[in-house]
Structures are given as C-alpha cells and as structure tokens.
Amino acid sequence: MSIKRPLVAATLAAVVALAGCSAGSESEDTSSASAAPSAEPTPDAGAAPEADLEDVPDVVAEVNGEEVGREEFVTSFEGQLQQAALSQQQSGGGAVDQDALKQQVVEQLVNNRLLTQAAAEAGIEPTAQDIESTLEDVAAQNGLESADAVVSALEEQGLTEEQVREDAATQFQVSTYIEAEADVQEPSEKELRAQYDTLVEQMESQAGDGASAPEVPPFEDVRDQLAQQATSQQQSAAIDTIVTDLREDADVTIHL
C-alpha cells in the first residue's frame, strides 16, 4: 500500500507504508486514491536487500551545529531501502542503488532538520493533541483504524512509541511552518479546465493506430482530484523555495 507522504518524518512514512503492505496481503486492499501499487505479495516480496552500512559514520551530517546521527540515518535508510526494493520488484526493475539512496536520505534529513529548526524558531510547539491528530491523519491516509494502529504498526518494525510520537511532533511542526510560509492559492475554474483539457489530450495521444482512446471521466467527476493535484504542485514548489533559502544561510556539513 502506498502512503500520501507529508513533508517530513521519512521514517514514519516509509515504515508505515511497509507495514501497510504487509497488512494488505492479509486483508482487503485499502490503498488511497493515489496510483498505488498492488498490496498483494509478489514471489520475492519478503526478500529485502541487506543494507550496506559499513561507510556510515557516527555523525552523518551537521546542521547549524546540530548533529544528525548514525542511528537516525540508519532507521530512515533501512525503511526507505525496503520501500524502494518493493517498488523495484513490482515494476520489474533491478537492484536498488544504495549509494544513491544514501545521498537522497541524508539530504532529506538535512532538509528536515533545517525545517524543524526554522519551525522551532518561529515558536511552533506541538501539543499532545496535535501529535495525536497527526497520527490520526497518517492512519486515515493509509487505511489504518486509529493513531494507536499506526503506533502498533511502527512498533512491529522496531520503533518505540516515543520515537513515533517524536516523528509525528516534527511532522506537525514542519507542516504548520510550511503552511504559514507558503503562498498556496486555490486553483481557479479556468485553470482546472485547462488542466482537464491537457489530461484529455494526453489520454487521446496514448491510443495507438486503430486503437480507441481510453475513456476520460467527465470534468465534474475528477475536478476535486485535479484541484488537489494543482495544490500539491504549488506546495512542492513552495517547499523547494523555502528549503533552498534556508540552505543558503545555513552551516551544513555532510560526512557521508
């Protein structure tokens, strides 16, 4: 089962996704509306690659004087490695490039730390209810019943409840900070119509010689999805800008 990932807490997102895939093989598919791979097991679904951690130092990065430690890196890397391996198996791809994934993970952790620092400087401090609501959102996005179900799924993957709630607190901090800093506008009807027309053209172009084009749902049926996609694109662009600005003024050293 795929997960609609928030901005941070890569460990939380990746491991819940893996737990959801395991659960999906024992129950009905509860995948989200996004284009999710099947939750049904593949022949080698359980054969996760062994993580190559020999070159990972005790401190993988320093961000404005704060250390990103090996344990934090390994937890995130192992979760994303398993997720990437599952994706590769389902798509028929080759082995995961672990060196490239290591760089991707350390960059994520550095960016997350910058965003967390900025959120703290802005005075954003999550309450116990904020953390619970964040976990409930993660549960809803992944077909789990409750915040407790998220905690249980992550505990099965080796995390403690304290670690899960710390990740959720970070997720709330950064999401709140991004919402305050990003200028995201609701798309207009004209913009959504243009987006729909582009979709229709793409679908028609997929039809081969003599083949009929795939049927496109009416605009009204996909309007909300198009609006969500447009908003997500704006959010992604805003996050890129915010992170770029933070890194320009930051003291960052990567040791990996």
- pLDDT reported for residue 43: 41
Structural domain that includes position 21: 10-184
- pLDDT reported for residue 75: 86
193 domain residue, yes or no: no
- pLDDT reported for residue 197: 92
Radius of gyration of the chain (CA): 20
Q: Which segments of the chain have a pLDDT < 50?
A: 1-45
CATH number for the domain that contains residue 69: 1.10.4030.10
- pLDDT reported for residue 79: 85
- pLDDT reported for residue 60: 97
87 domain residue, yes or no: yes
What's the predicted TM-score (pTM) here?
A: 0.70
246 domain residue, yes or no: no
Domain count for the chain, please give it: 1
45 domain residue, yes or no: yes
Q: What is the per-residue burial (b if ≥16 Cβ within 10 Å, else e) of 191-219?
A: ebeebbeebeeeeeeeeeeeeeeeeeeeb
98 domain residue, yes or no: yes
- pLDDT reported for residue 207: 65
- pLDDT reported for residue 204: 79
- Closest to 74 measured CA to CA, from 92, 90, 97, 50: 50
235 domain residue, yes or no: no
- pLDDT reported for residue 208: 59
